[in-house]
Amino acid sequence: ATGTQAARTHDAPVVFAHRGASAYAPENTLAAIDAADDLGIDWVENDVQRTRDGVLVVMHDTNLKRTTDAEQVFPGRAPWAVKDFTAAEIAQLDAGSWFGERFAGARVPTLEQYVRRVERNDQKLLLEIKAPETYPGIEKDTLAVLRDEGWLNWRHVQHKLIIQSFGAASVKRVHAQRPDVITGFLGTPPVGDLPSYAEFTDQINPNHGTLSLGYVSAVQALKGAHGKPLRVNTWTVNDAATAAKVAGYGVDGIITNYPDVVRDATR
Ligand code: G3P
Ligand code: CA
């Protein structure tokens, strides 16, 4: 400490690598998990969807076009929706070249492959159930993979896993099916509605542009589904100035493509 800085009134926010360290490696690939690990970042965020034959895969867009070569490999399969392809088909796709030639050949991981890499690196997982309305039953499927991989044991549930979604009904289903799992709701509910969210979630995870000191304080004043203060993890903060601003609001966590930049700006 230099003696010139204001005293910190909060712990430094937890840093989450958004889609992995996605500024440095193709999002939602095993390389992006490793890039976060190389930076010393424990927590990785990902997005989970389901293939036509019922396999969970890690991908953000509900469409394969932006981050894979699906249009070239499967011409005539427009609009290239994830849900219309089998796991074997998706496994053929190149999910790295769009980001940079040195990542050519990176694959779309299955959730199983993804969780195994997180485990190998001794990292932690902020898992987003993406577009739950498109994938009925995906909460049960997700919990089944996590259980089979040993991620629903006490240690993992206490320290290494959060499941979040933009779909309140999806978060509710996760909480109902596995009440021990920490959950997050993605969004900025009105303050008056927060008590109803607190019945099934532990975290309110808003877009940083919606935040204020007052909102963060109002969330944290309530207790979440496990009886602890509701936490606020905000996204997607990719520059030092915004990171310092939201840290000043007292957020509990920051979700970022640049976890090194955010860490340096908030410590
Ligand atoms: O983790 C929060 C953030 O990922 C939500 O937005 O579109 O990147 O999934 P999106
Ligand atoms: Ca996400």
List all residues whose CB is within 6 A of at least one atom of ligand 1.
18, 45, 47, 60, 128, 186, 235-236, 255
Token code pair at residue 193: 């509605």
- Residue 205 is assigned to a structural domain of this protein: yes
Token code pair at residue 156: 């993992």
Q: Which long-range contacts (CB under 8 A, 24 or more apart) does 155-160 make?
A: 157/181, 157/182, 159/124, 160/123, 160/124, 160/125
Could you report the per-residue pLDDT of 108-156, keeping only the tens digit for each? 999 999 999 999 999 999 999 999 999 999 999 999 999 999 999 999 9
| Cβ-count burial 82-104 (b if 16+ within 10 Å, e if not) | beebebebbbebbbbbbbeeebe
pLDDT of residue 2: 40
95 has which bridge partners? none
- Residue 54 is assigned to a structural domain of this protein: yes
Q: What's the first-to-final CA gap in the chain, in angstroms?
A: 10
- Residue 86 is assigned to a structural domain of this protein: no
- 8: pLDDT confidence band, cut at 50, 70 and 90? low
Ligand in nearest proximity to the CA of 237: 1
- Residue 102 is assigned to a structural domain of this protein: no
CATH number at residue 209: 3.20.20.190
Q: Is the peptide bond before 79 cis (omega within 30 degrees of 0)?
A: yes
- Residue 6 is assigned to a structural domain of this protein: no
pLDDT of residue 11: 87
- 163: pLDDT confidence band, cut at 50, 70 and 90? very high
| Residues involved in catalysis | 18, 60
- Residue 91 is assigned to a structural domain of this protein: no
Burial class (CB in 10 A: 0-12, 13-18, 19+), 228: exposed
Torsion, Cα 174 180 186 188, to 10 degrees, reads 120
- Residue 148 is assigned to a structural domain of this protein: yes
With tokens 């690939």, the residue in question is 29
Q: Which atom of ligand 1 is nearest to the CA of 126?
A: 1
Could you report the per-residue pLDDT of 67-108, keeping only the tens digit for each? 999 999 999 999 999 999 999 999 999 999 999 999 999 999
- 9: pLDDT confidence band, cut at 50, 70 and 90? low
pLDDT of residue 230: 98
Could you report the per-residue pLDDT of 165-189, keeping only the tens digit for each? 999 999 999 999 999 999 999 999 9
Which of 45, 59, 165 is the best mutation target for the ligand 1 pocket, counting ligand atoms within 8 Å of the beta carbon and taking the most? Answer: 45
Residue-range definition of the domain harbouring residue 170: 14-62+111-265
Q: Which atom of ligand 1 is nearest to the CA of 45?
A: 1
Which of 59, 128, 262 is the best mutation target for the ligand 1 pocket, counting ligand atoms within 8 Å of the beta carbon and taking the most? Answer: 128
Q: Domain total for the chain? A: 1
Mean pLDDT over 38-60 rounds to: 98
Cα(201)–Cα(249) distance, rounded to whole angstroms? 21
pLDDT of residue 192: 98
- 3: pLDDT confidence band, cut at 50, 70 and 90? very low
